[in-house]
Amino acid sequence: MQAHNLGFPRIGAQRELKFALEAYWRGEIDRGQLEDQGRALRAANWKRQQQAGLDLVPVGDFSFYDHVLDHSAMFGVVPERFGWSGGEVDLDLYFHMARGRAPSGEPAAACEMTKWFDTNYHYLVPEVSKGQVFRLSSQKFFDEVREARALDIPFKPVLIGPLTWLWLAKVKGESFDRLELLDDLLAVYAEVLEELGALGAEWVQIDEPILVLDLPTAWKQAFEKAYNRLQAAPVKLLLTTYFGALDDNLGLAASLPTAGLHVDLARAPEQLDAVLDRLPAYKILSLGLIDGRNIWRADLDALLTTLDRTVERIGSERVWIGPSCSLLHVPVDLESETELDGELKSWLAFATQKLDEIGVLRRALTDGRAAVAEALDAARRAGKTRRQSPRTRRPEVRARLEQIDGSLLERNRPYPERRPLQRARLDLPSLFPTTTIGSFPQTAEIRGVRRAWREGNLDEHGYVARMHEEIAHVVRKQEEYGLDMLVHGEPERNDMVEYFGELLDGFAFTRFGWVQSYGSRCVKPPIIYGDVQRPAPMTVDWIRYAQSLTERPMKGMLTGPVTILNWSFVRDDQPRAETCAQIALALRDEVLDLEAAGIRAIQIDEAALREGLPLRRSQWQEYLDWAVRAFRLTASGVRDETQIHTHMCYSEFNDIIESIAEMDADVITIETSRSQMELLDAFVNFEYPNEIGPGVYDIHSPNIPTVEEIVALMRLAAERIPPERLWVNPDCGLKTRSWEEVDPALHNMVEAARRLREEFAARASA
């Protein structure tokens, strides 16, 4: 029996990678120093896994920005706008693709970014064109294998499978079937596998998570073609699936000519019997027993029962034990959390502890339960205290849930009747009103003030005074730009989910529980361990102060219930829908308090609505029903003249546009700039009834948009959406940008809106 891992967090226990990347981008360290930091992190991660007793340690899961982009670079898939003429795709070109810059120094649109399946991790979308040429263009992967071998690490190289990489790619230019590229792509994969065999690899983990999706017939047939070709490689392939059940793809996955199959038993434990029935006798079966997506300690007794049943069916020599998926999605090490409540801490397991759980399971099977009796007893005690703890259940919260009825889910009037009331109250331009998404630059000084306050080095009065200074500064800047609807800038907020979680009952927070979102961007998800309620207003004083500084409308800014849920580590002892409804009721109280304080517009961000969609279409409607219900429960208590906004991050909207409309937000802002407004294609065949703000420039890139670029994008938007229902705004919050970038960008955005008003007013009168 073998114990292995599928992937480990890259960022470092203290976010060493984040700080090294940002120092490199600022020019404070050189490329050699950045690469040294990468080598040190890889070595530390490998040794940590080796010391946990793993028989095989993943290599190739480390990335300086994104593992999908790593593969694009390795295959020589570089969009023309980056000026690559062949040869090695070096680190700087790699960062240009991620962040948006041509080698000449001129701005170039960054590669589109979207969510990795239904996680909160973002990947860089590969761009392919008809006749795409693939060639091995990076040695990074092989260099890391050599590093691991030199350190005597029992390595297992990790690759994204060819069908999954191609599925994730987007066609640019002339339309064609991506599967036309498969033969040429497989030639490069064969070359990669040959080289790995030459470097001494016995097993290669080849990830094909699209096997848990609803696949077209042509793609299923392509799997057979691809793996029949790759079976000649001088390595054993572990076909790795995760994030769900194989279901109708089980027969296909089991029959492919690979030496092993990995299945996710954390997300889909019900599939085990079917897998055992279909697995050929020559294959090993890797059981994804430890949850790689959540942070709760495992029920080791239950997992051992599953292992016993599996071993009885196929024998221990054919069984491997691992996590359900890469541990990229959980924090590094629970032991760093010295200030976390002891009882709660006993319920948790981060990446390092999950390695230990894998080791305990393997030892229990190979050496007997007595060999790990202490670890098993500790897991039992933690499970018992969690089940019995009164802190997880609040009778008043559950009583309130029982009182929800349809009257709480509806606005008084439909949108067409609300619109004139809101326009009159808000005094907005009739065409192309301007706003931003919420946050403004969070400078080192602001973060320092928050840190001093949290550490007790600045009293409450001093902290509030300093935050008020920053809010006043942001309000003045927005008035200078000429924005029509303002925001307070969120200087008091660390993270759009963490901030609210810290003010709600039922949430806990860590100091070092960082998880990579993309590149150097890390988030620290809250832990929802108990019933949720709001003990006091969370934003009202800040927003009310900001509104007192201006005559222009000031948006209240809240994170929506579905996003708080999807961007947290959620309790697993009750349905997610129930937890979401609890959050919605708490936020509803905040919405009503904002309105009572005189706030005329309230934005309830649902950035993560789309990513929570189940991977199988048959399960979509159930999720969408309770997600939309939670949003409406949050928003629907306000008067008709109060304008409700929402914002959604990088998402494909075509398949859920009707549900988005059912949310009945007066204004929705979405991220469309990286796709050149392609996301608005969702609105061509569906007449979206309310107002839309398509993001006109990419805030994740340091590039400054020109007036002409913004005007051109909005003209495209106006081809799909009536211009009188369009807003002009950036595609996301501005907290990660500097004032030197924000000032010219927003000046240009407001000027573009002015020109658009003149242009479209002239059209209307012509």
Amino acid 677: pLDDT: 59
**Cα separation of 348 and 337, whole Å?**
11
Burial 498-530 (b: 16+ CB within 10 A, else e): bbbbeebebbbbbebbbbbbbbbebbbbbbbbb
Residue-by-residue DSSP string for 123-189: EEPPEE-TT--------HHHHHHHHHHHTT--EEEEEE-HHHHHHH-EE-SS---GGGGHHHHHHHH
pLDDT tens digits along 135-175: 999 999 999 999 999 999 999 999 999 999 999 999 999 99
**Cα separation of 62 and 430, whole Å?**
50
pLDDT tens digits along 445-454: 999 999 999 9
Amino acid 696: pLDDT: 84
Provide the β-strand partners of residue 238.
205, 260
Q: What's the burial of 646, exposed, middle or buried (CB within 10 Å: 0-12/13-18/19+)?
A: buried
Question: Would you give the DSSP letter of residue 52?
Answer: T
- 705-708 long-range Cβ contacts below 8 angstroms, 24+ apart: 705/673, 705/745, 705/748, 705/749, 706/748, 707/748, 707/751, 707/752, 707/755
Which is nearest to 260 in space by CA: 233, 240, 277?
A: 240
**Active site members:** 700
* Residues in the chain where the model's pLDDT stays below 70: 103-104, 650-652, 672-685
Structure tokens at 19: 């700080």
CB count within 10 Å of CB 174 equals 8
CA 304 to chain CA centroid, nearest Å: 32
Question: Would you give the DSSP letter of residue 212?
Answer: G
Which is nearest to 482 in space by CA: 754, 757, 756, 758?
A: 754
**Residue carrying the six token digits 């706008």:** 81
Determine contact, residues 705/714, Cβ cutoff 8 Å. no
As a dihedral over the C-alpha atoms of residue 554, residue 559, residue 562, residue 564, rounded to 10 degrees, the angle is: -170
Amino acid 652: pLDDT: 63
Determine contact, residues 387/573, Cβ cutoff 8 Å. yes
Amino acid 682: pLDDT: 67
Which pTM was predicted?
0.90
Q: Tabulate helix, strand, coil % of the chain (nearest 5).
A: 50, 15, 40
Amino acid 674: pLDDT: 55
Determine contact, residues 408/634, Cβ cutoff 8 Å. no
Determine contact, residues 716/676, Cβ cutoff 8 Å. yes
**Cα separation of 679 and 199, whole Å?**
43
